[in-house]
Chains A and B, each alone.
Chain A
Amino acid sequence: MVRVVVGIKWVPNTQAVRFDPKTGTLIREGVPSIVNPHDLDAVELALKLRDRYGGEVIAISMAPPSAIKGLEHVLGMGVDRAILISDRVFAGADTLATSYVLANAIRRLGSFDLIIFGQETIDSSTAHIPAQVASWLDLPYVYYVEDVEELGGGRAVVRRRLEDRIEWYEIELPAVIATAMHSQQPRPVRLSYKLRAKTERRVEVWDNKVLGLDERCVGLRGSPTVVTKVTWMPEVPRKRQVFRGDPREAVKWLIEKLREEGVLPY
């Protein structure tokens, strides 16, 4: 039996988001939010472990109430329990304040074997949260995990793939891991699971009355990060050069051009 907690972020679909070139900020208006796609790798890995060893998968997310939709999605995939941490005092949090809330919420869940996060989020890509949650809870942390190969007796063997090698770690449980992006194939939602999520209102909502955290440590007040400046990457105009003719000549031409541009070093 395993008990796995999965962290979920509810993010604006960055493929649909546009930037305001004047302010450099995201125009989120009218953009539908989605479950951070890399978190679905984490959900899939958690469900696989539960399917293999039995037990329970609990999804947890700190977000506005609209994220209920996202948690219904992971319930639809087969997650057993979903908790939305939602309170106005949590708004405006940086990664430190967010990880503080998540870690304290996870503590309330009692004993567990693994906390699994996705590699990073598509809207900020800091990859801070798993490391910070591990720090708050004083747990071992391995990232870029492709698979959990063994689990039992208070230990797990996890495999992670780096650019030039594969590493195996034997870690003590409980532990925090972050999945490598695209390392899993998230399963589709099942009608009966999603139906149950919708009709039985299964997403639990925890506000700060439940968690009882010091308001100085959460939300905007608990966030030491200051964004001092956002610079806009200048748009590089395309050169729109076309070569017509013999493919062999085209290759030579292309290599020549890439050298001129300094793309090819020699």
Chain B
Amino acid sequence: MEMNQPSRFDAIVVGAGPAGATAALKLAEKGYKVLLLERGRGAGSKQVFGGRVYAELLRRVFGDLKDAPIHRWVKREALMLADGDRLVAVAYWTANSTSFTTYLGQLTSWIVERAVNAGAVFVDEVRVDRLLVRDGRVVGIEAGPDRVEADVVIDAEGVNRLLLERLGLVAKPKPAHVALGVKEVIRLSEKAVTERFGLEDGEGLAWVIVGSVTDYLPGGAFVYTNKDSVSVGLVLHLDAAVRGLRAHVHELVERLRLHPLLRRYWGDGDVVEYSAHLTIESPEFIPKSLVHDGLIVVGDAAGLLLSTGLTVRGVDYAVFSGFLAAEAVDCARKEGGFTRDVLSACYEQPLRRSAVYRDIVRRKRASKLMKDERLFRDAVRFAVKAASTIYELGEETPKLAEALEEAERAARLSKLSLALMLIRLVRGL
């Protein structure tokens, strides 16, 4: 009955998210014998994301995206500063889209299906308990009583890095480095989504909302339009939430869904999905080393996510790192083995030289800025008060300077602190 050595693989990929699935696909295409393992039922069943994927890196890895499960191409963006039942919106409209909305489960299934067709072995509903280490090098994985060995393991376990923690390669995440994302998917008809948001067929939008929607805590709410549904949720920086959150997070999401200015878009829809997940909020989440003997770390596990406050990218970075990992396996085989030094030269260094990685680490300042609680409270109050003074007119029509002064008083901000905040904002973003 017992089977100790079911089969041996060239590579084992732990986690069928966008990073792991891409690595498995590219390895299978190169002819490697690859095993892709997933804890959930089916590909992507444990994933949560906001709702949008940037296309450029995906095109580079997958070619044209004609048969990809794309819901809508994002052509309208907005940043909204919300203070109670008033909000200021800064909108950007374009005919040229660089990102699309989708369900991540669908996108991941699409990649996994390609990987399986290319020859990868995909096994779901199996939890990997630990990485198998022999003489200091990773030689495979353990799942329950079973062990499977391979030349190299690609760790695509996501933001909850239990395997890496167990090996002592990373510490438990610090609250300052992560955020909590909570999301509801609200089903409407395709027509309703298109018409209510002023879109054309196939067009989508992305909104970021800060201020009272998060109780003025660092983080923000988001809205993405899918084909026949809307993803509505928020992200709260964990350390600030622990300190300052008064309501339960799900109450904040409910409040957002029922927001007097926003519920007209989706209030009659059915909530068909509720999900929550940790997400990365700081480049300090990146492990000191992205490779070890016999091990490559990709995707969220490698900290490859960039949240600028206005945009969030993670899925395309995950795909990119999975692609690089597959290239690295090829490279390491030619360079004589899967030692840490070779993998560093073949994976870690190219990754660290990439624009993706540089963009993430140079946002250290932005990630500090995103923790500035005054920005999310005072600046929002200032902007909304100024706008309401300008637009809500009675007998008098105040001058702009008067409106700003009144807003300064309302937000209890001095001109100096306002100026400083503006400078930090521009430098940070």
Contacts and interface: CB of A to CB of B under 8 A. Distances in A.
Given A32-B42, A188-B144, A190-B145, A195 B123 contact: yes
Interface of B: 1, 3, 6-7, 35, 37, 41-42, 121-123, 125-127, 143-146, 148
Interface in A180-224: 188-196, 198-199
6 cross-chain pairs, A with B, having the tightest CB-CB distances, nearest first? A191-B143, A192-B146, A191-B146, A192-B6, A192-B3, A191-B126
Nearest to B37: A191
A78 B146 CA distance: 13
B121 A198 contact: yes
A3 interface: no
Nearest to B109: A32
B144 A198 contact: no
A177 to B, nearest CB: 24
Interface residues on A, range: 10 to 19
Given A76-B126, A78-B1, A195-B35, 15 more contacts: A188-B144, A189-B125, A191-B6, A191-B37, A191-B123, A191-B126, A191-B144, A192-B145, A192-B146, A194-B126, A195-B148, A198-B121, A198-B123, A199-B7, A199-B121
A238 to B, nearest CB: 15
Determine the main DSSP class of A at the interface with B: helix
Contact of B123 (A34, A78, A194): A194
B145 A76 contact: no
A38 interface: no
24 contacts: A32-B42, A34-B41, A76-B125, A78-B1, A188-B144, A189-B126, A190-B143, A190-B144, A190-B145, A191-B143, A191-B144, A192-B6, A193-B3, A194-B123, A194-B126, A195-B6, A195-B7, A195-B123, A195-B148, A196-B3, A198-B121, A198-B122, A199-B7, A199-B121
Contacts of B37: 191
A73 interface: yes
Contacts of B148: 191-192, 195
B9 to A, nearest CB: 10
Contacts of B145: 190, 192
Contacts of A193: 3
A249 B127 CA distance: 49
A34 B145 CA distance: 25
A46 to B, nearest CB: 15
A198 B34 CA distance: 13
Contacts of B125: 73, 76, 188-189, 194
Nearest to A78: B1
Contacts of B1: 78
